[in-house]
């Protein structure tokens, strides 16, 4: 029995309930009208576990990891032992298959729970959080064409988003760098979860359950960030193998991952549409020709491992192709609809931490004989931060809920990612303002939050790209309505 199974079947109340559907608490009645924002008992237990883990394991060491830039392996291993990682991996691979929300609160463990944990982790250190773990505009009911096609090809999806986001928010509250280290592994896993066959899933997802290992997502290149179609990395078929050559850049977990999802051009014709020009591969880090570069020294989220990777005549067996030749672009883009909600949840966790630190400081710091919280200028800053946190949380919750219900969430995923990213940056900046001169000093926690927040507007699609996606969907829907 692998470690996750042991944890799931242990006496710990939360995981004991997860071991079999027969042990789950009976769902509570859900109102026939309106919305229910109450978490069920299992989700509350998972949230409490992630929050306790963040408080005891992440927050005390977040500043040290930020200074050293070391990868938080001890934290990752403890999170793995508790089952806070890989919960969305299908059950047939040894995971818990956390997923679809049902009646009675927010439902069973899915993306929502992981996002809550991510927020808590980021509260301690957003860099650590990243190390661990992307129509119609109203009531979208159509299934994403990409995910619908992948579902038909792979026999269904078991990946849940809501519960995962719940966990992500909690972890990000502690440290978004550590949370990113963990959450980036989930990004690398997602293409295999949504597009891998049973053998690929068992081999590559199963090993992440059996050992505290992580994966990585290899798409971005030195000359291709937002312009994914501009990727230059190429793979040429020779017999039963593919020969991979090229470079990737800004790959989180690049130097520590056991394996990567790699997107490469397989059709050399520049006129070939992106939807058919690229293929997705599973590439192991220890294979000959795979060379991770130096660890990048970033402004924030320093606990996460970010590197470039060079591929030189890497031999990939045909068994490591996802779905088939030409399906890579759809797989890569389909993954973002599932991974952007957790990113938004992580940003929400950071914003919540900024609000907490600013509120606590405003009650302690006195000017003109009273705590600065009594000055309207400061009180209004706190109010604006609270408004931002609440709306960011609602955005990721809806986008995650839509994924778990098989609805197209492309617009809402972009709304959540863009809005939460900007809320995190504003909240962190306002927290520094509340702290005044002290906020500019490394002895206080808010300057780190400000450094950690910026990347949320850049990775997993910049804020500008999110606006482009949203605007295109709006215009397309309007044209169809007027047609």
**Does residue 153 carry a pLDDT above 90?**
no
Q: What is the pLDDT of residue 123?
A: 54
Task: Determine contact, residues 360/436, Cβ cutoff 8 Å.
Answer: no
Q: What is the pLDDT of residue 482?
A: 78
Distance, in Å, from the CA atom of 389 to the CA atom of 219, rounded to the nearest integer, reads 31
Q: What is the pLDDT of residue 166?
A: 94
pLDDT, tens digit, for every residue of 29-39?
545 556 788 88
Distance, in Å, from the CA atom of 182 to the CA atom of 126, rounded to the nearest integer, reads 10
Distance, in Å, from the CA atom of 7 to the CA atom of 167, rounded to the nearest integer, reads 17
Q: Of these residues, 57, 169, 460, 473, which one is catalytic?
A: 460
269 SS3 class:
coil
User: CA distances (Å), 21 to each of 4, 98, 245, in order?
Assistant: 17, 12, 46
**Does residue 310 carry a pLDDT above 50?**
yes
Classify residue 107 by burial, with Cβ atoms within 10 Å: 0-12, 13-18, 19+.
buried
> DSSP readout, 304-330?
S-EEEEEEEEEEEEGGGBSSSTT-HHH
Angle at CA of residue 347, ends 344 and 349, nearest 5°: 115
pLDDT, tens digit, for every residue of 83-121?
899 877 887 887 766 653 332 333 333 444 444 455 544
> Domains in the chain and their CATH numbers?
3-133+135-214 (1.10.540.10), 217-328 (2.40.110.10), 333-482 (1.20.140.10)
Q: Where are the alpha helices (DSSP H) in 326-372?
A: 328-364
Q: What is the pLDDT of residue 127?
A: 54
**Does residue 136 carry a pLDDT above 70?**
no
Backbone angles phi, psi at 128, to 5 degrees: -70, -40
> Sign of the CA dihedral 49, 176, 255, 332?
positive
Mean pLDDT of the chain: 84
Q: Where are the alpha helices (DSSP H) in 365-462?
A: 376-404, 410-435, 446-453
Q: How many CB atoms lie within 10 A of CB 231?
A: 24
Task: Determine contact, residues 461/340, Cβ cutoff 8 Å.
Answer: yes
Task: Determine contact, residues 288/315, Cβ cutoff 8 Å.
Answer: yes
Distance, in Å, from the CA atom of 470 to the CA atom of 106, rounded to the nearest integer, reads 26
pLDDT, tens digit, for every residue of 344-372?
999 999 999 999 999 999 999 999 999 99
Distance, in Å, from the CA atom of 289 to the CA atom of 60, rounded to the nearest integer, reads 39
pLDDT, tens digit, for every residue of 210-268?
999 999 999 999 988 777 888 999 999 999 999 999 999 999 999 999 999 999 999 99
Residues in the chain: 483
Q: What percent of the chain has pLDDT over 70?
A: 79
Q: What is the pLDDT of residue 18?
A: 33
pLDDT, tens digit, for every residue of 283-301?
999 999 999 999 999 999 9
pLDDT, tens digit, for every residue of 368-421?
999 999 999 999 999 999 999 999 999 999 999 998 888 889 999 999 999 999
Q: Considering the entire predicted model, what is its pTM?
A: 0.82
Task: Determine contact, residues 372/366, Cβ cutoff 8 Å.
Answer: yes
From 4-18, 194-208, 312-326, 442-456, the region with the lowest mean pLDDT = 4-18
From 106-110, 167-171, 447-451, the region with the lowest mean pLDDT = 106-110
Which contiguous run of DSSP H or E holds residue 147?
helix 145-154
Angle at CA of residue 166, ends 161 and 171, nearest 5°: 120
User: Kind of pairing, strands 126-132 and 215-218?
Assistant: unpaired
> Sign of the CA dihedral 95, 96, 97, 99?
negative
Q: What is the pLDDT of residue 483?
A: 66
169 catalytic, yes or no? no
Which residues are CB-contacts of 481 (< 8 A; sequence separation ≥ 6)? Answer: none
Which contiguous run of DSSP H or E holds residue 119?
helix 111-124
Task: Determine contact, residues 17/23, Cβ cutoff 8 Å.
Answer: yes
């Amino acid at each position: 029995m692998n470690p996750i199974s042991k944890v799931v079947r242990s006496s710990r109340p939360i995981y004991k309930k997860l071991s079999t559907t027969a042990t789950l608490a009976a769902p509570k009645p859900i109102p026939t009208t309106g919305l229910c924002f109450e978490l069920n008992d299992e989700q509350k237990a998972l949230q409490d576990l992630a929050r306790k883990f963040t408080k005891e394991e992440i927050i005390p060491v977040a500043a040290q990891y930020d200074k050293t830039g070391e990868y938080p392996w001890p934290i990752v291993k403890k999170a793995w032992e508790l089952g806070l990682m890989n919960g969305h991996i299908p059950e047939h691979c040894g995971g818990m298959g956390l997923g679809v929300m049902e009646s009675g609160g927010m439902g069973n463990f899915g993306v929502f729970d992981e996002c809550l944990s991510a927020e808590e982790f980021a509260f301690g250190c957003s860099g650590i959080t990243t190390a661990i773990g992307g129509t119609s505009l109203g009531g979208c009911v159509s299934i994403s064409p990409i995910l619908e096609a992948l579902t038909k090809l792979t026999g269904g999806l078991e990946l849940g988003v809501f519960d995962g986001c719940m966990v992500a928010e909690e972890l990000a509250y502690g440290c978004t760098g550590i949370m990113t280290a963990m959450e980036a592994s989930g990004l690398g896993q997602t293409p295999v979860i949504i597009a891998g066959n049973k053998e690929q899933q068992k081999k590559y997802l199963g090993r992440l359950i059996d050992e505290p290992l992580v994966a990585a997502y290899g798409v971005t290149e030195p000359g291709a960030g937002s312009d994914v179609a501009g990727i230059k990395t190429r793979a040429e078929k020779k017999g039963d193998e593919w020969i991979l050559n090229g470079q990737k850049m800004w790959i989180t977990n690049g130097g520590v991952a056991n394996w990567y999802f790699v997107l490469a051009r397989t059709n050399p014709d520049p006129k070939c549409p992106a939807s058919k020009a690229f293929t997705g591969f599973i590439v192991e880090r220890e294979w000959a020709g795979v060379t991770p570069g130096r660890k990048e020294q970033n402004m924030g989220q320093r606990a996460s491992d970010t590197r470039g990777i060079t591929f030189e005549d890497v031999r990939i067996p045909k068994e490591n192709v996802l779905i088939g030749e030409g399906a890579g672009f759809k797989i890569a883009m389909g993954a973002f609809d599932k991974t952007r909600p957790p990113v938004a949840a992580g940003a929400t966790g950071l914003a919540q931490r900024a609000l907490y630190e600013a509120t606590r400081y405003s009650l302690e710091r006195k000017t003109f004989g009273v705590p600065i919280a009594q000055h309207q200028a400061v009180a209004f800053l706190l109010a604006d931060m609270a408004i931002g946190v609440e709306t960011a949380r609602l955005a990721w919750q809806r986008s995650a809920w839509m994924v778990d219900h098989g609805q197209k969430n492309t617009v809402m995923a972009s709304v959540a990612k863009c809005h939460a990213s900007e809320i995190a940056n504003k909240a962190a900046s306002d927290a520094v303002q509340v702290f005044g001169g002290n906020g500019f000093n490394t002895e206080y926690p808010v300057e780190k939050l400000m450094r950690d927040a910026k990347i949320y507007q850049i990775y997993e699609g910049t804020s500008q790209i999110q606006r482009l996606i949203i605007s295109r969907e709006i215009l397309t829907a309007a044209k169809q309505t007027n047609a």
